[in-house]
């Protein structure tokens, strides 16, 4: 029986690779997993123009990207001609997103306004979608300088333009949309920014850094403009179309750093030389550091805080083995040991209630309760799943079906229901008898939205579960954006009771806030979505609280 094993720190890369290896539309899995080619459907065509938003003239040197919905890595690109026109002459039928970009302008997905998701194109055989139009706005810029306590410029420091957003599932997080580094005069430029408000942060480590064993004993702790260590006390910076927001300056003080030294313990005997990779990992990103042949390591230049350290190596059979160690660094150096193989595992079976078969691409993800806890996951294969190398911690169980044709009805492990409650795993814990039950009786809701008496274009429509426990699972919140006729098509909606809202897109994705329905209960429309239903819904644009 084939099972896909995925190491937590490599889950995103593995997930992308698995998606890319799944048979494309028009390819059918045959015996022993071999692909059998269906008769190809006649291609369609996609064409349109990319224009300047301010003048309406064709925007030369623009690039247009056509990507298949739910299939990362499968895309077509082209550049516009002298009139701003583009064409994809032969495109396989399917569902696509299309976007346009150019240096100095804000990238745009078709149908997108503000923080909305944009529209999905349904391309039929021999169909010509020939009126795709983009109007790109000139990007804004934030500039400033970073100096130290002696008013000396700081060179090579990372500066980030962030937005505070609610993430699917309800967490609020400051997300970096653009980064830059200071030059020898301490100056920086954050370019390519869409109009709106940002939080600007300088200093700290950032994401994806390498912690050298030769780092100096000080750095500059992260600070938000103006002079706040946390985003809650920061001042927002406004960016307008095509304009430069100047003098967003920072005065930083050097902060002492410390070192974490340790050793990697591997209980399995080595047949020969064995190499290790190691670093610090969270759901936000990871940093790496080097390990000696003797398994010893030193991380210098580490700021106080909470860390999840990991170490990994390949076993003689080729399986990747991992170990984790939580570490809290105060104002002192720290010594730790990381034991390889002391991780949790979750195994079980998946079944579908109703007619049909399980989707070909179905993934189980364990999302950590905190940003320090890395997530883990694996793919369902032949009705079974196996997740290994899981760090000790508390997780939410999520199911990812790129087609949105199924949803998790229930998951039980050791007889306990974890459908809406979190699961806590200890190091070395093994759950062997998980039972995942899926439903495929999803519905489609067509929402017609008006502003007064007129159709409302580019408005967000969102269905939020009335059941508060379900709001922590992103699969139960469904959203879409209205087209030119004011209609939003919400596909793959899980049956149940919802509040429906329609409002202008927001940069903070406030609809994912678990408290949003409580603040706006009187502005919502109650909707009961029936299994396998096709429902129509009429909404008015609201101004949410």
Phi, psi of 259 (to 5 degrees): -125, 150
Distances (CA, A) of 237 to 180, 195, 300, 350, 465: 16, 11, 34, 48, 34
In this predicted structure, the answer to whether residue 214 has a pLDDT above a threshold of 60 is no
Phi, psi of 74 (to 5 degrees): -95, 105
In this predicted structure, the answer to whether residue 6 has a pLDDT above a threshold of 90 is no
Closest CA to 489 of 404, 398, 408, 363: 404
In this predicted structure, the answer to whether residue 180 has a pLDDT above a threshold of 90 is yes
Please report the domains of the chain, with CATH numbers, ordered by start residue. 44-136 (2.60.40.1120), 140-256 (2.60.40.1120), 262-339 (2.60.40), 343-439 (2.60.40.1120), 443-540 (2.60.40.1120)
Least confident interval from 158-162, 283-287, 426-430:
283-287
CB atoms within 10 A of CB 454: 9
Are 196 and 178 a contacting pair, CB within 8 Å? no
7 pLDDT tier (thresholds 50, 70, 90): very low
DSSP-based helix, strand, coil % in the chain, nearest 5: 5, 50, 45
In this predicted structure, the answer to whether residue 179 has a pLDDT above a threshold of 90 is yes
State whether residue 533 is helix, strand or coil.
Answer: coil
| Residue 262 neighbours by CB under 8 Å, 6+ apart | 296, 297, 309, 325, 335, 336, 337, 338
What gap in Å lies between CA 30 and CA 355, rounded to an integer?
20
Quick: pLDDT tens for 252-270: 988 888 888 889 988 877 6
Tokens 């039980």 appear where? 412
Residue of higher predicted confidence among 35 and 82: 82
Least confident interval from 279-288, 455-464, 509-518, 527-536:
279-288
Quick: pLDDT tens for 107-164: 999 987 766 677 888 899 999 999 899 999 999 999 999 999 899 999 989 999 999 8
12 pLDDT tier (thresholds 50, 70, 90): very low
- pLDDT for 29: 42
What gap in Å lies between CA 5 and CA 509, rounded to an integer?
33
Quick: pLDDT tens for 485-494: 999 999 999 9
Closest CA to 322 of 339, 336, 337: 339
Quick: pLDDT tens for 451-481: 989 999 889 999 999 999 888 888 899 999 9
Instruction: Identify which of 173-187, 218-232, 312-326 has the greatest average pLDDT.
Output: 173-187
What gap in Å lies between CA 196 and CA 165, rounded to an integer?
13
In this predicted structure, the answer to whether residue 70 has a pLDDT above a threshold of 80 is no
Quick: pLDDT tens for 42-68: 999 999 999 999 999 999 999 999 998
DSSP string, 138-177: BPEEEEEEEE-TTS-B--S-EEEEEEEEEPTTS-EEEEEE
Are 461 and 482 a contacting pair, CB within 8 Å? yes
To the nearest whole percent, how much of the chain has pLDDT over 90? 51
| Residue 126 neighbours by CB under 8 Å, 6+ apart | 42, 43, 44
Strand partners, 504: none
Are 461 and 541 a contacting pair, CB within 8 Å? no
What gap in Å lies between CA 40 and CA 25, rounded to an integer?
9
What gap in Å lies between CA 210 and CA 299, rounded to an integer?
10
- pLDDT for 234: 93
What gap in Å lies between CA 319 and CA 304, rounded to an integer?
34
Residue of higher predicted confidence among 2 and 531: 531
Are 318 and 301 a contacting pair, CB within 8 Å? no
- pLDDT for 22: 40
Tokens 């979750």 appear where? 346
State whether residue 458 is helix, strand or coil.
Answer: coil
- pLDDT for 206: 55
DSSP string, 220-267: E--EETTTBSSGGGPPPEEE-TT-EE----EE--EEE-EEEEEEEE--
What gap in Å lies between CA 30 and CA 394, rounded to an integer?
39
272 pLDDT tier (thresholds 50, 70, 90): low
Question: What is the average pLDDT value for the chain, to the nearest integer?
Answer: 84
Closest CA to 239 of 107, 140, 114, 115: 140
Pairing assessment for the beta strands 320-329 and 285-289 based on DSSP bridges: unpaired
Give the residue-averaged pLDDT of 506-534: 92
282 pLDDT tier (thresholds 50, 70, 90): low
pTM, two decimal places = 0.78
Residue of higher predicted confidence among 279 and 353: 353
Quick: pLDDT tens for 388-422: 999 999 999 999 888 889 999 999 999 899 998 88
- pLDDT for 9: 37
188 pLDDT tier (thresholds 50, 70, 90): very high
For residue 333 the two structure tokens come to 């150096």
What gap in Å lies between CA 108 and CA 112, rounded to an integer?
7
Helix boundaries (H) for 9-101: 11-21
In this predicted structure, the answer to whether residue 11 has a pLDDT above a threshold of 50 is no
Closest CA to 237 of 137, 139, 142: 142
Strand partners, 349: 384, 435
């Amino acid at each position: 029986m084939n099972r896909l094993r995925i190491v937590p720190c490599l889950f995103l890369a593995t997930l992308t690779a698995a998606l890319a290896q799944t048979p494309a539309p028009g390819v059918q899995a045959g015996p022993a997993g071999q692909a059998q080619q269906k008769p190809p459907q006649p291609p369609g065509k996609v064409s349109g123009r990319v224009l300047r938003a301010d003048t309406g003239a064709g925007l030369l040197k623009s690039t247009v990207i056509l990507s298949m919905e739910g299939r990362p890595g499968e895309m077509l690109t082209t550049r516009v001609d002298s009139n701003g026109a583009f064409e994809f002459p032969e495109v396989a039928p399917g569902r696509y997103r299309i976007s346009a970009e150019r240096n100095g302008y804000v990238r745009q997905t078709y149908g997108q306004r503000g923080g909305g998701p944009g529209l999905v194109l349904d391309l039929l055989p021999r169909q010509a979608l020939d009126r795709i139009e983009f109007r790109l706005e000139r990007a804004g810029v934030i500039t400033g300088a970073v100096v130290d306590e002696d008013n000396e410029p700081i060179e090579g420091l990372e500066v980030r333009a962030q937005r505070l957003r609610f993430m699917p599932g309800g967490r609020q997080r400051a997300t970096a949309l653009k980064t830059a580094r200071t030059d020898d005069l301490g100056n920086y430029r954050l370019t390519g920014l869409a109009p709106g408000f940002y939080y600007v942060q300088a200093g700290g480590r950032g994401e994806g850094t390498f912690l050298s064993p030769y780092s100096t004993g000080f750095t500059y702790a992260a600070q938000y403009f103006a002079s706040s260590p946390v985003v809650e006390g920061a001042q927002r910076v406004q960016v307008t179309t095509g304009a430069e927001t100047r003098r967003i300056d920072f005065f930083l003080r050097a902060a002492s750093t410390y070192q974490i030294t340790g050793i990697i313990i591997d209980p399995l005997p080595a047949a020969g030389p064995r190499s290790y990779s190691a670093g610090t990992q969270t759901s936000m990103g990871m940093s790496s550091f080097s390990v000696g042949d003797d398994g010893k390591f030193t991380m210098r230049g580490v700021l106080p805080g909470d860390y999840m350290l990991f170490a990994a190596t390949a076993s003689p059979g080729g399986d990747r083995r991992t170990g984790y160690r939580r570490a809290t660094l105060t104002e002192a150096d720290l010594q730790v040991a990381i034991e390889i193989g002391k991780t949790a595992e979750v195994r079980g079976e998946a079944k579908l209630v109703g007619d049909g078969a399980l989707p070909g691409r179905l993934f189980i993800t364990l999302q950590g309760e905190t940003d320090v806890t890395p997530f883990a996951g694996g793919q369902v294969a032949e009705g079974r799943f196996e997740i290994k190398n899981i760090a000790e911690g508390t997780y939410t169980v999520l199911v990812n079906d790129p087609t949105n044709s199924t949803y998790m009805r229930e998951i039980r492990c050791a007889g306990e229901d974890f459908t809406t409650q979190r699961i806590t795993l200890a190091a070395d814990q093994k759950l062997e008898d998980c039972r995942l039950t899926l439903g495929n009786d999803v519905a489609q809701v067509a929402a017609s939205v008006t502003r007064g008496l007129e159709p409302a274009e580019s408005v967000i429509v969102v269905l939020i579960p009335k059941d508060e426990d379900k709001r922590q699972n992103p699969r139960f919140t469904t959203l879409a954006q209205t087209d030119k006729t004011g209609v939003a098509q919400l596909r793959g909606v899980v049956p149940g009771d919802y509040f429906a809202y329609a409002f202008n897109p927001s940069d903070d994705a406030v609809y994912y806030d678990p408290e949003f329905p409580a603040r706006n209960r009187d502005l919502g429309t109650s909707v009961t979505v029936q299994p396998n239903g096709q429902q129509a819904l009429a909404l008015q644009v609201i101004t949410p609280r």
